[in-house]
Structure 1
Amino acid sequence: MSELQNVLKKMKLKGDKESTIDFLKTVARLLPPSDDYGISLTKKGVHEYVLDRRGVVIISLSLEEYLPIFSADSKRIEYNEIPEDVIKVIKTNWKQILGQLRDYLLEYSKIDKKYLEVADQVNSVIFENI
């Protein structure tokens, strides 16, 4: 967990894109081993940026023109393709990102108890950096 602590401090101190990407990569590695979990980074118009175990995906929602239903498209992007305005939001919302991670780890700990300890460690990182 010291790696998460270190990348968070580096991101808060430097605030550049590279340190933010390092933070995201570290968070992605801590996600439970399931495709059911994705951390919402931010919403920008009809696009939502989501972090999962394989990286960043943009999910676009649209309302069908003549039907009362939504359709969704997704596009996987490289970390360096994340727009600067999204990077700024990530730097500001690090507590919410780590909070989502902690909640997913707690949920997954019902299946595998070792994730309860990881969730506690993430929670400690949050409180040490408030």
Structure 2
Amino acid sequence: MPLSVGHLLLCPRAHRPKLTDVTPAESAELGKYLRILSTAVSKATGIKDWNVVQNNGAAAAQVVPHCHFHVIPRPELRDKRNERFTSTMFGRGQRDELDEEEGEKLAGEIREMVRVVVRDDEEREGRGKL
């Protein structure tokens, strides 16, 4: 159940229970893709603010024992133009299931924005601006 439309998870492929179990190379890749995915989700949803959340251990609210980062778009709660977005603060409040068709469409939009961000990064890197 997403906390908002566009809420996604990023995790390493290998099983790593906590962030401290991630290798330095995996950590670097996760950092790289957190920025890319944050940008892509913001562009795809039109929401300019978001949280990145990562919990380690049961006492820290980690439910799934695999290192993962949440990228959670945060629409302006007072903006009536964003009524289709359900937003809660870290699990408190109303949560709605994402409509499957809407989810597929948004996933496609996010994938396209990932391609755009990566392409733009490569172009800037080629010009020496990264």
Q: TM-score, normalised by structure 1?
A: 0.35
Higher relative contact order (CA 8 A, sep 6+): 2
Q: TM-score, normalised by structure 2?
A: 0.35
Bigger share in helix: 1
